[in-house]
Amino acid sequence: MPIPRRITGFHEGTDGFWVAELECGHQQHVRHRPPWEIRPWVLTEASRKEKIGTPLECVMCRVPFVYRGPA
């Protein structure tokens, strides 16, 4: 089950889609590609700013940590 984390910022990914920066340190693409993904708020800077501080489910926080030994 994904864990809700607050959005702390955004940046544009190398693929041209927007990426949400989350409080946990993870990042997640936030695309608007109807009919599959409906997020019209990613299209303008003002709308993205309004989403800062709102929760987004972080799928990476649910991935179990795998110890790989000393660095």
Domain ranges of the chain: 3-62
Please give the DSSP secondary-structure letter assigned to residue 16. S
pTM exceeds 0.95 = no
The whole-number average pLDDT for the span 2-23 is: 95
Q: Which fold has domain 3-62?
A: OB fold (Dihydrolipoamide Acetyltransferase, E2P) (2.40.50)
**CA-to-CA distance for 56 and 39, rounded, in angstroms?**
12
Q: How many angstroms separate the Cα of 33 from the Cα of each of 6, 36, 38? A: 22, 6, 6
**Which contiguous run of DSSP H or E holds residue 67?**
none
The whole-number average pLDDT for the span 12-22 is: 95
pLDDT tens string 28-61? 999 999 999 999 999 999 999 999 999 999 988 8
pLDDT score recorded for residue 66? 65
